[in-house]
Amino acid sequence: MSNPLDQLRACTVVVADTGDIDSIRRLRPEDATTNPSLILKAASDPAYADILTRGIDAARALPPSQRLTAAIEAVSVGFGVEILKHIPGLVSTEVDARLSFDIAGTLAQARRLIARYRDAGVPRERVLVKIASTWEGIQAARVLEQEGIACNLTLLFSFAQAQAAAEADATLISPFVGRILDWYKAKTGQDYTPETDPGVVSVRSIYEYYKAVGHRTVVMGASFRNTGEIRALAGCDKLTIGPALLDALAGESAPLTPVLDATRITPAAALPALTEAAFRWQLNQDAMATEKLAEGIRLFAADLDKLEGLLLPRLA
């Protein structure tokens, strides 16, 4: 008899939200996503010391001013290459969060990441470049998609970000379910059921809009706090879930049934395209999205600083 995780796999593409290769090997997800925090955690594990060593050795051949950035990129891609050996689908690798407001810098690093994967024998079709869903990040994704580089727009908390991402023809978005819930619980002091969970409600509204107007952009719920959120989004295009919650879901006894179903959504006309001014105003009016986007960028940047601190002594 199948368990709830197997039942989820039947209606949603299950993605592992981890840089831990042992967990990926055990859980057998279709895809995997990484971010600076997950790479930092994995890079601190002695089991993956060889990935760090290879990245550092490759960077040492460059001028000193380029070594640290090259080492970070090489290590991130090194984890991605190893992960791809254990999954049939895609891996997401994130652009430096400190480039979240720099279109040119984002474009340059995204192209370098894809080149590193190519040099490692990985075609671009198996890689998603993760970019923060700022206005600048979304515009960079627009250019990259036109070049055939698929993008995962992450740190997404609002409908305005989702609309702009689809209008940029991004391959995939990652709405952060749990971080939305965190904000509302902190502000209201309330507990929420899966049906009233603000993160779940947000993802459902984005999913329904995308399917109603025919956007190709994939919706991948992310950042879950409990299995109730996962169950409430069963049927979503993709869900990226950490190993602990994947294990918890597999161990539950209650059956899981699809909730989202694109075939039941009535077609509708798209909203007027967002201008930069309209995007910034709508984001500004959403206190939760404004705060969580800024916080997410800061947290990822802080973990990149720590990763640099781990690598720098070995680059000297």
Instruction: Name the token pair of 48.
Output: 């993956």
Element (H, E) at 152: strand 151-156
Instruction: Name the token pair of 146.
Output: 């036109």
State mean pLDDT over 181-197: 97
DSSP assignment string, 262-295: GGGSPP-PPPPPPPHHHHHHHHHH-HHHHHHHHH
Residue 239's pLDDT band (cuts 50, 70, 90): very high
Q: Give residue 133's pLDDT.
A: 98
Q: Give residue 1's pLDDT.
A: 64
Is residue 93's pLDDT more than 90? yes
What whole-number distance in Å separates Cα of residue 87 and Cα of residue 29?
Answer: 6
Q: Active site includes 130? A: yes
Per 3-state DSSP, what percentage of the chain is helix, strand, and coil (rounded to 5)? Answer: 60, 10, 30
What's the start-to-end Cα distance of the chain, in Å? 56
State mean pLDDT over 218-234: 98
pLDDT tens-digit profile of 243-286? 999 999 999 999 999 999 999 999 999 999 999 999 999 999 99
Percent of the chain predicted with pLDDT > 70: 100
Mean pLDDT for all residues in the chain: 97
Q: For the chain, count helices (H), then strands (E).
A: 14, 8
Q: Give residue 234's pLDDT.
A: 98
Smallest CA-to-CA distance from 175 within 249, 239, 129, 259 is with 239
How do the domains of the chain map onto residue ranges?
Answer: 4-19+95-304
Local structure of 229: helix, strand or coil: helix
Q: Which CATH architecture has domain 4-19+95-304?
A: Alpha-Beta Barrel (3.20)
What whole-number distance in Å separates Cα of residue 256 and Cα of residue 5?
Answer: 8
DSSP assignment string, 90-127: -EEEEPPGGGTT-HHHHHHHHHHHHHHHHHTT--GGGE
DSSP assignment string, 44-88: TSGGGHHHHHHHHHHHHTS-HHHHHHHHHHHHHHHHHHHHHTT-S
Residue from 130, 211, 238, 292 carrying the catalytic annotation:
130
Residue 316's pLDDT band (cuts 50, 70, 90): confident
CA distances from 261 to 134, 155, 204 (A): 29, 24, 10
Instruction: Name the token pair of 314.
Output: 């070995």
| Number of residues that make up the chain | 316
State mean pLDDT over 71-87: 97
What whole-number distance in Å separates Cα of residue 237 and Cα of residue 76?
Answer: 26
